[in-house]
Amino acid sequence: MKKKKSLKAFLKSRKAKRGATAAAITALAVVIVILINVAVGLLAERFPNIQLDMTSSRSYELQDDTMTYLSQLDKDVTIYVLTSEKTFKSGMNAYQGAQYFVQADALLKKMGAMDHVELKFVDLSRNPTFTNKYENLDWNASSNANLVIVESGDNYTGLALDECFTYDSETLSYYGYYVYTESKIEQAVITGVLDVTSDEKVGVEFLTGLGESEDGYSALKTLLKQNAYNVTDTNINTSKLSEDSSVAVLYAPTVDLSEKAADKLEKWLDSDGESEKTLIYIPIDIKVDTPNLDALLKEYGLKVSDGLAFCTSSDYYINNNYTFLTDYADTDYVADLKNSRVSTIVYYTRNVELTDDSKAKALLTTSSGVGVIPFDVDTTELTNDDIDKYYISGGVNPAALGSRSNTADSMSHIAVFGSPYMFSKTFLSTTSFNNANYIINFCNTITDRGDMGITINSASIDRKELGVNNAATVYAMGIIFIAAIPIIVLIIGLIMYIRRRNK
């Protein structure tokens, strides 16, 4: 009886009332924290663009080119990822590199948040008939044949696993599991969007059969494909150039054009005055006798030097005298560059001489501290004074354009870029130089595509900064912020309540 009275007395006491108030406030705080976390999670799912990327390399942000292009999109596009989102974010059973799928998921969601773009995950194990609609895609090549489908209206394209992610093929071959090293999904999907939304694709033919190295121009082919050019190979010795192609590329041939091939190329350039054609010629960096090719260049006011450009200006060369920055000589092909203050870079370049100023003009030029040293001169035996006295002649043209009128309304062009290495993967994949942007801008301008080109770089993961790097971290952070922290707050509140009660 006494205990009941003491309990009643305690419940009516000021201490009990204060304790109850503190407990109620603590419980309310916990509820508010839980609700805020849930609300933020739902908002982040609904509006992915409100998520903050705390990595220094902005690994979880869409690149500026992507945002600009998608914001101007006027056709509806659907991106299908052919697996469940849970499986995708877990890395699809990756042995290493699952963090790239978490990153890809974030980027895809931000694409899907844009107007005219919708993102959907389709689990084929639950929807096996989904693929029936896409008859033109190969579903039998391998289980990784198509990871993503990009669709707009009646147009669609499939993106394979190796187009979206880079993985160690040797590890897969020897051990049978995937080790992912890079995400390419942003550039792959945007290429797909360009592909299915472009009304008319410009054809580009890479001319083969002249001893060229396919490895040498593979990066340039990839870049053009990523910008929705229809890229094909044509053996100039055995096949005709397509009348539908607007650009032909002759990359570092080691032998001359035959008379028949030269005649074939000249007729394609003339095209009976019906359309404008452009040949992009990139000479090799060694001495090769090419009289037939030289004769064709002469008709367009161009000549390729018999030697390599050598730079003595320390403000321009990088690492060695054969690697240096260039200046833009013609504004027509610079106007639409995102940043014309960024230079292109050349390595082992030939000088493109202008033999007829009425037909030809320089595209890229250099400082006055650059000249041409002939192939038959051994630079190791030259002094600096010899180089300055005999070879530095006031600058060179690493690139030039020659044009010829076919009719009153039609022109044909030959653009010569003196350095085959300026289109290597090293120089095309970096944002430190403008090589990729410049060549795409040049092609867009010369073919009247306008400013359609976008250059997307592979996404990296910056492990040293704050960011989500793997699927386990996603779930761990969810547990910590949605459950663990509120529970800890509740426990602290109860401890404080009990301690105050016992005072």
Q: Report whether pLDDT(60) > 80.
A: no
d(CA 473, CA 99): 9
Can you give the pLDDT at residue 495? 73
Q: Burial of 29 by CB count in 10 Å (0-12 exposed, 13-18 middle, 19+ buried)?
A: middle
Query: Is residue 79 very low, low, confident or very high in pLDDT (cuts 50, 70, 90)?
Result: very high
DSSP-based three-state secondary structure for 180: strand
Quote the strand ranges of 270-380, DSSP E: 277-282, 302-304, 307-311, 317-318, 320-325, 327-328, 345-347, 352-354, 360-365, 370-374
Which amino acid is it at 219? A
Structure tokens at 260: 């028949």
In terms of Cα–Cα distance, which of 460, 468, 470, 456 is closest to 189? 456
What percent of the chain is modeled with pLDDT above 90? 49
**Predicted TM-score (pTM) above 0.75:** no
In terms of Cα–Cα distance, which of 23, 94, 1, 162 is closest to 498? 23
Q: Report whether pLDDT(65) > 90.
A: no
d(CA 141, CA 37): 44
Q: Is the dihedral of CA 324, 329, 335, 341 positive or negative?
A: positive
Q: Report whether pLDDT(51) > 70.
A: no
HSE of 463, CA atoms in CB hemisphere, 13 A: 4
- Give mean pLDDT, residues 365-390: 90
Q: Burial of 354 by CB count in 10 Å (0-12 exposed, 13-18 middle, 19+ buried)?
A: middle
CB atoms within 10 A of CB 432: 10
Residues 445/449/450/451 CA torsion (nearest 10 deg) = -100
pLDDT per residue as tens digits for the range 247-280: 999 999 999 999 999 999 999 999 876 789 999 9
Q: Could you tell me the maximum CA-CA distance found in the chain, to the nearest angstrom?
A: 120
In the chain the domains, ranked by start, together with CATH numbers, are: 2-50+479-501 (no CATH), 64-193 (3.40.30), 201-446 (3.40.50)
Can you give the pLDDT at residue 42? 54
pLDDT per residue as tens digits for the range 164-196: 998 888 888 888 888 998 888 998 999 899 889
Ranking 84-93, 227-236, 406-415 by mean pLDDT, the lowest is: 406-415
Cβ atoms 101, 91 nearer than 8 A: yes
pLDDT per residue as tens digits for the range 492-501: 766 766 666 6
